[in-house]
Every structure is written in C-alpha cells, then in structure tokens.
Amino acid sequence: MSVLVVNGGRPLAGSVAVRGAKNSVLPILAATLLNAGRNVLHNCPDLRDVESAIRILRHLGCRVTREGETVTVDSSVIERWDVPDALMREMRSSVIFLGPLIARCGRACMTTPGGCELGPRPIDLHLDALRRLGVSVEEAGGRIVCEARHMEGRDIILSFPSVGATENAMLAATACSGVTRIINAAREPEICDLQEFLRKTGASVSGAGGSEIVVVGGSTRHDTEHRIIPDRIETATYLCAAAACGGDVTLCGCEPEHVGTVTSVLSEAGCEIDIAGRSIRLRADRPLRAFAPVRTMPYPGFPTDAQAQMMACACTAQGTSIFLENIFENRYRHVGELSRMGARIRVSGRVAVVEGGVPLHGASVRSTDLRGGAALVIAALAAEGESRIGDVHHIDRGYQSIECVLSRLGADIRRENE
C-alpha cells in the first residue's frame, strides 16, 4: 500500500501537459468492439481504470497492445460476451460494455455495478434505453443478462441526462435497424468524442453536444485512428492546486472551453487566468477570495468531478463559500478528511458551507474516492507541515503519477510504500 507524503506551503510554478481524458477513453475502448477491426487510439492515459478496460477487452478476445500513449485494439475476433465480476467490481463504469457487446454479439452478461463510494449507482436508465431498442434484460441475483434478436431504432427519452446511459444508448443504437433519437442526452465533451470516434468507424451519429442525438443504425466497418480529447477534470484539478498554493502555472494541450465554469470560479476567487489557444495560464496570490455558490450540474454546468478540488480551494479562501452537489448523493466524504487538516466545513444534505481563511495544517488522511483524494492532495499542498495521504489507489484511478506532475511544478510530494 502506498501513501503520498506532502510537505505543504510552497507555491507552484511551471508548465505541465494535460493527458487524455479518462472518461473519454473508457467508452471509446468499449466502442472498439463494434467495428470488428483495428483501432488505434492516441493520447490514452496510463491509468488503473484504463488498464481495467483493456483487461475486459482481452477477456472478450480482443488483441490489445500499448506503446506509450497509443493503445491498439484489434477486435476482429470476439470469443465471449460476459464481463467477469472481479472486473466489474474493479471499475463500476464497466457497465459501458453492455451496449457494444449487445451490438456486436446480440447478447451480454455481467454483474450489476451495485453501490460505490459516491452512493448508489443505479443503471435503470441504461437498461430502460436498451429495452426501448428491443433488448430483453433479465436481472436476477446481482446478474444482468441481455439478449437481442432484432433491435429497432426508437425514440429514447432520458429522464436525466446520464452520461453513461447516453453512451450505452448511442453504442447499442449503431446495431439497430432504422433511426434512434436520444432525447435529453448528456452534452459532455466526452459524448462528442465518442461520436467522433463512431463516425470514423462508419457509424452515422449526429447531434452530440446538444440534447438530441440521432443514430442511424448500420455498418461500422472501418478501421480507425483517433486521438482522445484532453482531460478536463485533470485540467481543473491542477488549476485548483495552483490556485490554492499560489504561483504561476501553465497547463498545455488542454481545451479551455471545457473548463469554462471552473476558470470563472477561480477568476472570481482572485486568480488571473490567461487563455491562449490550447493553454491556460493561472497566476494566484494567496489568499484567495470566497466565491458565489458552486452548484454542480450536468455539462455545461459546473462538473461534479471538480467539486471536491474546488472545495479545497475554498478552504484557503478568505470568507464563506457554499457548495450544492446536485449530481451524486454521497459526494462529500472528503469533508471529514479535510477537517482533519483544520478545514471548517458544515454539511447538510446536498449543501456544504466552507468557512475559509482558517490556516490548514498537515495531517494523516485517507482518500475516500478519486476526486476526494485529489482534493486532499490540493489541501495538503496548501497546508503548513507534513501530510500523509493513504488509499492512493483511488487517486491512481484517474491521475497518472500525480506526484511526478506536481513535483515538476515545485511541490514537495513523494510516494512511499508502506
């Protein structure tokens, strides 16, 4: 088990390149099942979740190789249509394999993802969407068995713009006869990236980025080559780190438009933000100022995946900041750990009130989940003294060598094996 040891209180300076988006690469890896061919994916981060998706593809019969940031998937031969329970447990978003497996094999079998550190993780919207397309879905004893004889395009109206359900519906719809319209679709940039990839395989998909996506079922036969978009949550995380510590940091190879809600809160907090093409420069003098309430919303609203990191910034800001978590029920588990560092935060249901301006001090804490863990790293960098952050495996799911990136920016952070 490894821990991150941080000696805080240093400003950050320098530049880092943002990697490919975890939440884009996962559905696109699943989508490689569709074209029974060769898929070359560039800009794939080397993360635990990506490794889990690759293991699922290999289990199914694909040949997968990685050379640096390029992953090649040959999906010519598929031997199975099940995802083993161990891999489902490792990564709950493995449910994204449901749509492509049904499209390719006409059936799929996996265990239900169950709850996770963010609270219950239902997949009712995914399954309802598949049923609309003519898939028979049986759920019993924690297993889901899907079968499709004839799939027909229909209108799917999502009661909530779920990212995963939109992706599963898009992927399954490629195998339907006729036209599928996904109404109230998620609008996240990762959905646009998936559309881009699917088009390269020959699929007819349009509308991503808006609330209605149209898929005309048919052939997806072409070999593909695709570059994954930059990770907007990694971008947000390193911006928050620079803001909380003070300093002068430039993030290169990012997509500034995708983090507009995050940079506007950081500007309000007193950071100077300069955008030039695909880079963002952030200059901050401590202390930050408190900001107007942050409400997490589906894209283009403020991302729930950046809420915890922004809360770490709020702890270092003068004044009171308020957060409203509207996406997940249980996304304040980092609060207890931030309090160990001296943060003053009160939580009531979906609301968290942060009284900033109280100096943070180093402490021994544990990552509660991926983004909560990133928030602890940010708080530890901003705190005086030494912190030890345990359960780093959560952080490794979404950040490649976080300690190396932050060290390059001048942070005193190292990984120790306990």
Q: Is 122 in the site for ligand UD1 (CB under 6 A)?
A: yes
Q: Is 35 in the site for ligand UD1 (CB under 6 A)?
A: no
Among 327, 374, 402, 406, binds ligand UD1 (CB under 6 A): 327
Q: Half-sphere exposure (CA, 13 Å, Cβ side) for 327?
A: 20
Tell which positions 184-203 bind ligand UD1, by CB under 6 A: 186, 190
**Alpha carbon distance 292, 319 (integer Å):** 11
Q: How far is the CB of 228 from ligand UD1 (least distance, A)?
A: 13
- Which member of 109, 116, 176, 240 is catalytic? 116
Tell which positions 92-111 bind ligand UD1, by CB under 6 A: 93
Q: Is 54 in the site for ligand UD1 (CB under 6 A)?
A: no
**Alpha carbon distance 351, 335 (integer Å):** 12
Among 54, 57, 71, 163, binds ligand UD1 (CB under 6 A): 163
Sign of CA dihedral 373, 374, 380, 386: positive
Q: Which residues contact 287 (CB under 8 A, 6 or more apart)?
A: 316, 317, 318, 356, 357
| Helix, coil or strand: residue 108 | strand
54: tokens are 């690759």
Among 17, 58, 85, 160, binds ligand UD1 (CB under 6 A): 160
Q: How far is the CB of 320 from ligand UD1 (least distance, A)?
A: 26
Among 25, 98, 123, 376, binds ligand UD1 (CB under 6 A): 123
Strands 70-74 and 38-42: antiparallel
Q: How far is the CB of 296 from ligand UD1 (least distance, A)?
A: 8
116 classed as catalytic: yes
Q: Is 304 in the site for ligand UD1 (CB under 6 A)?
A: yes
Q: How far is the CB of 91 from ligand UD1 (least distance, A)?
A: 8
| Beta-bridge partner residues of 23 | none
Q: How far is the CB of 195 from ligand UD1 (least distance, A)?
A: 15
Per-residue burial over 335-372, b = 16 or more CB atoms within 10 Å of its CB, e = otherwise: bebbebbbbebeeeebebebbbbeebbbbebbbbbbbb
The residues binding ligand UD1 (CB under 6 A) are 23, 26, 93, 121-126, 160, 162-165, 186, 190, 304-305, 327-328
- Which residues are tagged catalytic? 116
